[in-house]
């Protein structure tokens, strides 16, 4: 079965992106009306700079935060051969490959484009999964690369970054327009609007992130032609994750948005806002894809 778009999923991604764009336009209109001055453009400019840093250095930042290291081919020849084969199937250039020493069984991909991608997995996931299961997980990560998800999520985070910066700068509003009562009232309105925009944009980003996981699962199934292997891998990883000590999961929690399954320690608010769909829903979607591939 050749690589095909899931148009229902694509429509949801486009709708989410459109809603983020509308939210951005509304937010900027409010800002310009209340503060028709250079300060607003300064905030937007800073957000652009932060976005560019995130985009161009995401691979280095994620590798650093997770303690992953790039490996040579002779260190893990089997892993290199597997990823090379999958890249051939997916029509992708070979990414840099990294290993992360952690008891948390997981994998991730990062990088601003297929030519600057990194695919990494933990040493524990290599011990946990069979060859076919690991291949399916790596194909999932390569699908993120093929779909340019780092670019998608960086653009999606732009509105939230602006809202966050304005929320914080509220407490330093004197730097952006004086202390008169009228200006202070305007800043209170902007601060309230910023909180609302930040909450809505975050919810939309989380929805977009969940859609991208479904898309990467689908990509894995099409690359390997073996969705059952990814179903088995997701089941194993989820089961094993419950046995991993919370302290170990807490160490890598900051990179949860990149992982194939988030490592939630149970000690943060992150469990209230999931970047990933429920494993049960992912398995149900993969079973439908299996039916498509088998043709019955």
Catalytic residue among 135, 141, 213, 253: 141
Q: Residue 141 catalytic?
A: yes
Neighbours of 111 (CB within 10 A): 21
Q: What is the DSSP string of 187-208?
A: HHHHHHHHHHHHHHHHHHHHHH
List the structure tokens of 150.
């780092």
DSSP code, position 95: P
For residue 137, give the nearest of 104, 110, 114, 107 by alpha carbon.
107
List the structure tokens of 248.
């170990």
On whether the CB atoms of residues 145 and 92 are closer than 8 A, the answer is yes
If DSSP states are collapsed to H, E and C, what string results for 6-41?
A: CHHHHHHHHHHHHHHHHHHHHHHHHHHHHCCCHHHH
Sign of CA dihedral 61, 62, 63, 67: positive
Q: What is the DSSP string of 103-158?
A: SS--EEEE-SSGGG-EEEEEHHHHHHS-HHHHHHHHHHHHHHHHTTHHHHHHHHTH
- Exposure pattern of 209-246 as b/e (b: 16+ CB <10 Å)? bbbbbbbbbbbbbbbbebbbbbbbbbebbbebbeebee
Sign of CA dihedral 107, 268, 203, 34: negative
* Positions marked catalytic: 141
């Amino acid at each position: 079965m050749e690589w095909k778009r899931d148009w229902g999923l694509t429509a949801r991604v486009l709708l989410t992106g459109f809603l983020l764009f509308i939210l951005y336009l509304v937010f900027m209109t409010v800002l310009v009306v209340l503060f028709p001055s250079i300060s607003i453009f300064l905030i937007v400019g800073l957000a652009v700079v932060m976005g560019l840093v995130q985009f161009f250095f995401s691979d280095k930042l994620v590798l650093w935060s997770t303690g992953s290291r790039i490996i040579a081919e002779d260190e893990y020849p089997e892993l290199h051969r597997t990823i090379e084969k999958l890249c051939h199937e997916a029509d992708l250039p070979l990414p840099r490959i990294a290993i992360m020493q952690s008891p948390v069984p997981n994998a991730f991909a990062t990088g601003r484009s297929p030519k600057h991608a990194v695919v990494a997995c933990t040493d524990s996931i290599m011990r946990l999964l069979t060859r076919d299961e690991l291949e399916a997980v790596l194909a999932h990560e390569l699908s993120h690369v093929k779909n340019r998800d780092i670019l998608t999520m960086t653009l999606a985070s732009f509105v939230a970054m602006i809202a966050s910066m304005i929320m914080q700068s509220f407490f330093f509003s004197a730097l952006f327009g004086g202390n008169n009562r009228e200006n202070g009232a305007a800043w209170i309105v902007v601060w309230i609007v910023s909180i609302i925009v930040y909450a809505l944009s975050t919810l939309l980003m989380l929805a977009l992130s969940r859609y991208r996981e479904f898309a990467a699962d689908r990509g894995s199934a099409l690359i390997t032609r073996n969705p059952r292997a990814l179903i088995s891998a997701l089941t194993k990883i989820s089961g094993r994750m419950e046995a991993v000590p919370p302290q170990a999961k807490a160490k890598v929690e900051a990179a949860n948005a990149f992982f194939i399954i988030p490592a939630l320690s149970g000690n943060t608010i992150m469990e209230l806002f999931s970047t990933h769909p429920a494993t049960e829903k992912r398995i149900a979607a993969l079973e439908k894809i299996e039916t498509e591939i088998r043709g019955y």
